[in-house]
Structure 1
């Protein structure tokens, strides 16, 4: 049996073999395990004991003053909190802990709680809303619906813009190399390819704005909004971004009123507390099969409500974001990278032949096409120059037109 002891030094624990011990025996255990002499101890189930500032104030707490009273008779059981005031000093076990102050140097309840992490729900996101380019969202969901049948997970990094008011617009999705299963998504990050993506985005006046992933049909049967593995992955990417408006989007199948299935988008931000806990190393990152997927496990106790716990409901970390749509500046008709079939120059020739009636800048106004070209052209000069032409919808220099057409013709 474990009883929690809260004093001016914070929350500690003692182990008890017999739940029917007396208060005198409890004090003896506190002396042996926490090194506070019995004669210096005052115990109470009333947290206001820790606010008492004088011996006279402390003496008023008498609910645990009879040494022969059984602790079970006053409701103390496994997990209960007993408040301890004591005279003198002691060294608290643990790294870099200084001796507690002498009697009279009290901490308030708020001070004690502040020494721990308190997990609460965050009511409002930092972004006003997220708006998806209709065609970009459609290309992503069509693939996972028609080609993958929502049987394995898929993910991508969202790029776009953020307005001064916090409105996030998603204009293209980069799908990195990855491996998806029913329950997990492994992004095989390719720094060289991502450098090309960043160069294109910079030329387009865009940046990373979020992470998008799918849930599978098998996950629909489980009782969570996001699993602990999804929370960890989304939080890691959010934390790396350093963008307070960063959005995590989720795509899944939902049963409609007619009994059919509709593709459904949801958007969230990971809470500020979630990001802080992750950056400070509180999350257990190795998740065993015995852990309920709707719970995130911590390495140390956090406070949820009035409870100290190491398991937090994932929903505490999610802040809902409103979803809108818009028509963005890019087309989405070029094959998408890192899917089942490699994208080759033959795809470029097919695309250019199909779009002959458009201006050349319109013909190349597709992120996935620019990424194919970026593998061959100079990433520091050619790629930004072409991206700027696309952003401003100005004529592509003739030299670039000839180069791109020759690359297509050589396939």
Structure 2
């Protein structure tokens, strides 16, 4: 009806304006819609799509060829290089290198040579991947000895399981622990003398516990004070000053066991005897002189004196006593206790030394100090040495008791 009206009736101005607005609106809307393609445009688009599909197929083909080449290269590398196999036994996991072209018989022979497991005892299994764990798989029978390893699925990195009844040691463990100091202790050192060559960690810890000492605060010394004759000490210290404390020196203290007015036990030193010795800056070496020793003993009895201590002089250093000095002092202390079990406990160990530069509170160039070996440490030393040391000698083998002895030296003020 509207179309008829537009044709038959001359349009009014209002109708013209409405058509203009409607045509303008339609033109604006159609401008945002894609124009239908023509036949030539469709032909061109079809050709472009064909070219894109062709290019995609070529890229896909090249990628497939590259992957295939990489796989062939990897397979050639795995099959041409020497195979490294892992063999799990009851003694651990070990590694074995094989020729990639070898047969199962060659693998068994290599196991017999490398692991010292006879072929007759070998029960060789393939491995199966069960989840994240590799488990024992099919048993390889002797009928397959002529089969190539690759045909059995054995390639480089494969895991095999080997069972046997004999007792043996893991070759990988032997190589890893060849230089283990614990092994040398078992074969050549002190552990070998205990009567066994097979040590476990538990046995070793139990044995080591017998060599441990519980270090506690040392008890109060039996000797509460030391009185030294000034002339005797001055003569000894002057000799050390003259030689510049360049060498060690040992003196034996002779005196009496005394008590003060308060009943405290102490020692009086009346003389210092210096035995024959060939000492250096590092060692004290006493020389045997039985004649002088017997005359000294007789003279001490006449004077009513006894051996009450030992004096050790040494060059400047930061530590108090060396290992040999401690052992020598403990040995002499033990001899005093044997001679007089009660008063011998007061035996003292004195030292003469130069004053260090950082010791501002000590006047002079030399000083003397008094120490005493603790009773429990003395017994340890006597049990260990049992009078084996007739002079100072190298005692590095007795190092386990040194820390205890050093701890037992109580300085007397």
TM-score bracket, shorter-length normalisation: 0.3 to 0.5
TM-score, normalised with respect to structure 2: 0.42
Q: Which has the higher contact order (CA 8 A, sep 6+)?
A: 1
Question: Normalized per residue, which structure has more strand?
Answer: 1
Q: Which has the larger radius of gyration?
A: 2
Question: Normalized per residue, which structure has more helix?
Answer: 2
TM-score, normalised with respect to structure 1: 0.42
